[in-house]
Structures are given as structure tokens and as C-alpha cells.
Chain A
Amino acid sequence: MSRQDPRYHVNLFRPKEGHMKDEVLIILIVLIGWAVVTFGFQILLAFSRGRGIGDLLTGLTLFGLPLHFWFTGQFLPLWFIILCLVFNVYIDRITAYHSRKRDRTYE
């Protein structure tokens, strides 16, 4: 790969300095939040069945729903909205920051 101009390397895990580095950081944070809350919760629920935490998750109720049902059916869509909101606010901020630094990366 060394014979190619390294300035033109695009790789999610090796972002360029500046706007792209900040962008990739927030992307990875949001993706971790997305994966852990969606799939981590289901795995926790499945493996804690019949034990303390599992009983708590299915036993407690919120709005009349068992906690796990409320979490998956109602909180997860809300969580995704929050993630998108956080992402947009952050991207708006780094865009403003880097355009002040004359790094015209955007639009």
C-alpha cells in the first residue's frame, strides 16, 4: 500500500486528522451505544433468566408493562431518537469548529 499516496487512504479505523477524526470518534461512540443497549440488553435478559437480575427485569413494571417489555418496545425507539439527536448536535458543533479553522470539509 506504500506505493500509493497516503493522503488518499480512506479507512474508518484510520481517519485523517481534522474533521474526519472527530466525525469518526462520534460515529464509533454512537455505534457502541446502539449495539450495547440493543443487543447487550437482550443477552443479559436471556442469561439472567430465573436469577436475581432476570426476575427484577421481568418482575418490575413501568406504565403497567414488565420492565423488559417496556425497555424493548418503548425505550429502544426513544433511545435511537436520542442517539440520532446527540450525533446531529455533535456533528453541527465540529462542523462549525472546523469551518472556523478554515477546514472547509463540509458541503
Chain B
Amino acid sequence: MNDSQWTIGIVILVLVSFILVGLKQKARESMEYGFGGRYTGRIGGGAAIASNWMSAASLMGLAGLIYLNGYQALAYVAGWTGGYVLLLVLLASQIRRFGKFTAPDFVGERYGSPAARFLTAVICIAISVIYCVAQFKGIGMIFSFLFGIDYRHGVIYGGLAVISYLVLSGALGVPRNQQLLYFVIITSFIVPLMWLAHRLGYFWLLPQFSYGEAVGDLARQYRIDFAAPFNSGSVYEWCALCFTLMVGTAGLPHVLSRFYTVPNLRDARWSVVWGLFFIALVYWSAPAYAVFGKLIEARMGHVLPPAAARSMADIIVLKTAVLSGVPGWLAGILAAGALSAAFFTVAGLLMTGAASVSFDLYYRVFHPQASELSRMKVAKGATLALGGIVLLLALNPPGLIAEITAVAFALAGNTIFPLLLLGIWWGRANDDGAVAGMLVGVVCTFAQPLFGSLSPTVAALFPLTSSALCGAPLVILVMIAVSLATPPPPEQMRRFLASEVHGHLG
């Protein structure tokens, strides 16, 4: 076998072994799995949080943007880790005590409004679709890289592969082993990086630290200043992006439900700390890929022009590894890690999205008498329909992986986050405020494409990837104003918030 066949072989082996391990686990124990896995303690809970979080955006998109924009792209590193602070201190315990674990459920219960529930469900489905488009782009790029085909064919074959994988594991009833997934992702990301550092002549044991020397070498030998601050964007853009990613984290539908897999509140809180550590391990390493990628290009004597660099930035992790001559099996491990992260992210998002179509839209709004069976059918159909929509959108991806993902974060930060925040921390917030807030939030998210050509100020204040720095506070103000102008929510809900969610009356 030659190198690329080895690579493809390893990828297939890893994906198949997930199914086999899952089946074995299922046969061994017939436990209730619920939202994704049995309880395995705080560290296991942390690994589950981290593997749930890792996607093509973290493993491919992040390094790509740092490779392109240097310091400016570190906003993604800070934004995708700092969001967990907000989530932990402001929302995690309270939402758990509230007892609703999807955003539409929470909004429907807290604000007591079918309209607000409907809007939330539609927004959550939109977030899932946008997020999946980015994953499909990653899958398509890996497929086109592995098989040497063009991107469009790559995304079609990759999309079909991920949907068949979803159908197959759904039909077999395979439980997801989140701890194993995290282990595969982290190993496949860091071992090739160590190899790379060794090959380029840096300290290989901790490439997260030794890439610093490579940054220095780039500046000294090749006059490429990788670290210069705010070279490809302003400090406003940096802060807006970072803030958007942070509030978006707390509003993402699939992140929220993670807090329900751990049986008690205290362990749930502590597993966030472990989860954040496991996530940070990847984010400490991703810049190293970007720097080594740049260095290899510089050493080989052809630094790509901006347009060409942009078109291959999302595959920089794999490309760097192959250019430096890693053996085929190691490239396969690297590709397999990124692919499994993308596969499982897509699987999770499409399934929750389809469940939301079936439950929140079909059952709650259109057919309240629908039977269990017909709801199941709708859910299965919706999975395929959503997959098809994502595939169509991914054929002409509107940006880089991390940029597309950032739009999903902006939408979540502008709509779901304010609703959760005020819903928990301000008893007076009511249904009219919620509906008004969500509508304003959607407009804020898409303000740049909608009104950007009319007003340059709007385009500057609400960049598409980073609209929540101005958007989220604006939505919160709108919610407060509208809530105060309309009747307060029912006494019963206010009592529930005060006595159950915020503890004993003292």
C-alpha cells in the first residue's frame, strides 16, 4: 500500500471501530443512556463536554485562521474557551435547577408563550444548520484531500458518508462513547504535532510551548511577523469577535444539554472545569500547526499569495503534516481525528435539530394530536431533509470553517443567550419581551448583509461573524423595555424562580 491508501485505511478503521465499540458496550450493559453516555465521574464528564464541543472548527478551522491572520485569530482561542466561564457562573446550575434542558423547552416554560417557543425552535434549528454547514465544509475538504478529487465532489461524497453513518448507527442503536471520542480526538491531534515539531527541529515533547521558537525563527529568518497585534483587523473587531463567541457558547443548544448527563449539580459544575481543561489542550496546540505550516512554506521557499492561502487555510493542519513528510498512517490518524469530530458533531446537531422539528414544531404547533409513531416518522424525515439542506449550502461555502461557525455563535449569542440570562436572573422578564428580543436579535445577526450597504456604521458595528458585542446588550435592553411596558409574567412562575431556581426564601 502507498501512503494515501494507508491514510484512507486508517480513517475507515477508526470510524468503523466507533460502531464496533459502541455495539459491544451496548451488549455488555443495558443501561439508560439518555442524552449521551453513562456517568463516568467528573473527569469522564469533562471529557464528554470536550468531545461534544470539538468539531471541524476547532481541529481544522482554528489553525487555518491563525495561519492566515496571526494574532487576530487568537480571538477564537479566547472566545471558544472563555464562554464556559459565562456558562458556568451565570447559567449552568440555575438552568439545571429549572429542569428544562433544551432551549425551546426552557423558553416555552419560563415565558409561557407558544410564540416564543416556536421562534426559539426555529432559531435553534437555524443555528444547527449553519453549524453543520461548517462541518460539511471540513468533511468535504478532507475527502477531497484524501481522494484527490475536487471540493464539490468531496463534499457530496463526504456528506453522503456522514448521513449513511448517522442512519447506520441510528438503526443499530449505537450509543456514543464520548470519552473514547475525546481520547481519539486529542491523541490524533497531538501525536502528529509532536512528530512535526521533532521533524522541524524543535522540542517535541511539548510542542504547545516549543512553537514559540518557530515564531521567532519566522520573524528573524523570513521577516514574517506572525505575532504582531491587530495587523489584520482592529482591536474593536478582535473584542467583538471574542465576545460573540463567548456569549454564543452559553447559548448553543447542544452545549446546554450537556449539564444533564451528570447526576448531581456539584459534579456537573466540576466537570466543566475538567471539560475546559481538555478543550484548552487542543486550543494550546492549534496555533502550533499554523506556525509550523507557515515555517514549512517559508523553508521550501514559496509563501502562498493571500487568495491561494485562503483557499487552503482550512486544510492547513493536514497539508502541513503531509508537506513535512509524515508517514501515511500518521496522516491517517490526524485525518481520522478531525473527521470523527466532524461526524459526531453533525450527528448530534442533525438529530437534535430533527427532534426539534418533530416535537417543537410539528407536535406542539401544527399537530397536537400527532401520535408517537408519526412524530418518529417526522423526526426521521427531518434528519434527512436537514442533511440535504446542509449539503446544498455546503456546496458553495460562504467562508472559512471558523467564520461560518462564528455566524452560528453570533445568532445564538444574540437570541438564546439574552433569553436564558434574563429568564434566569430577572423575574420580571415576560413573553412579549422575549419575542421582541428574539426578533431584534435575528435582525442584529444579519444586519451587515441586510443593511450594510445602506449604512457603513451598521456594517462596522455588526460584523457578520461578531455581531453580538453590540447585538446582545441591545437585545437585553429591548427585552427589559418591552417587558416593563407589558404585564408581568404569572405569579406562579415568579414564585417558582425565586423558591426553586434561586433557592430557599430567606
Known contacts A5-B491, A72-B77, A81-B273; 15 additional CB pairs below 8 A are A8-B498, A9-B427, A10-B502, A12-B426, A16-B505, A20-B506, A27-B90, A34-B82, A63-B209, A63-B212, A64-B210, A72-B71, A77-B77, A77-B284, A84-B85
**Are the C-beta atoms of A80 and B81 separated by less than 8 Å?**
yes
Q: Which residues of A contact B283 (CB under 8 A)?
A: 77
| Residues of A that sit less than 8 Å from B by CB | 1, 4-5, 7-12, 16-20, 26-27, 30-31, 34, 38-39, 42-43, 45-46, 49, 58, 61-66, 68-70, 72-74, 76-78, 80-81, 83-85, 87-88, 91-92, 95, 103-107
Within 8 A of A (CB), among B483-506: 488, 491, 494-495, 497-499, 501-506
Give the contacting residue for B81; candidates A9, A26, A77; CB below 8 A.
Answer: A77
Contact: B427 with A11, CB < 8 Å?
yes
A18 to B503, CA, bound (A): 9
How far, in angstroms, from A62 to B499 measured CA to CA in the complex? 50
Question: Which residues of the partner chain B approach A65 to less than 8 Å between Cβ atoms?
Answer: 211-212, 215, 227
- Once the chains bind, are B216 and A34 in contact (CB under 8 Å)? no
Range, interface on chain B: 35 or more
Q: Interface digits, B69-96 against A, CB 8 Å rule (1 contact, 0 not)? A: 0010010011001101110111001000
Q: What are the residues of chain A within 8 A of B425 when measuring CB–CB? A: 10-12
Q: Determine if B273 and A85 form an interchain contact, defined as CB atoms under 8 angstroms apart.
A: yes
| Most-contacted residue by chain B among A8, A58, A61, A85 (CB, 10 A) | A8
Contact of A84 among B77, B273, B287, B494 (CB under 8 A): B273
Whether B228 sits at the interface, judged by CB under 8 Å, is yes
* Contact call A92/B85, Cβ cutoff below 8 A: no
B228 — which chain A residues lie within 8 A by C-beta? 58
- The residues of B that contact A73 with a CB separation of less than 8 Å are 74, 77, 284, 287
Give the Cβ gap from A78 to chain B, nearest Cβ, in Å.
7
Known: A34-B82, A84-B276. A64 touches B215 (CB 8 A): yes
Given the complex, which residues of B lie within 8 Å of A64, measured CB to CB? Answer: 209-216
Between-chain CB contacts (< 8 Å), 17 pairs: A1-B428, A10-B426, A16-B505, A20-B502, A26-B89, A31-B89, A45-B230, A46-B234, A49-B230, A69-B226, A69-B227, A72-B71, A73-B77, A76-B77, A76-B82, A77-B276, A77-B284
By CB atoms of chain A within 10 A, which of B226, B230, B273 has the most? B273
Q: Is the CB of B503 within 8 A of A38?
A: no
Chain A nearest CB: distance from B81 CB in Å? 4
What does the 1/0 interface line of B226-244 toward A look like (CB < 8 Å)?
A: 1111100011001100110
Task: Using CB atoms, name the residue of chain B closest to A107.
Answer: B265
B310 within 8 A of A: no
Residue among A26, A42, A43, A95 facing the most chain B CB atoms (10 A cut-off): A42
Interface flag for B151 (CB, 8 Å): no
Q: In this complex, which of A27, A43, A66, A107 has the most chain B Cβ atoms within 10 angstroms of its Cβ?
A: A66
The digit string for B112-154, where 1 denotes a CB below 8 A from any CB of A, is 0000000000000000000000000000000000000000000
Q: Are B86 and A34 in contact (CB under 8 A)?
A: yes
Contact B212 A76 (CB under 8 A): no
Q: When chains A and B are docked, how far (Å) is the Cα of A4 from the Cα of B428?
A: 11
Cβ B208 vs Cβ A39 within 8 A: no
Q: Chain A's nearest CB lies how many Å from the CB of B205?
A: 13
Chain B residues lying within 8 Å of A74, measured Cβ to Cβ, are 208, 284
User: For the complex, is B302 an interface residue (Cβ under 8 Å from A)?
Assistant: no
3 tightest Cβ-Cβ pairs between the two chains A and B: A64-B212, A105-B503, A18-B506
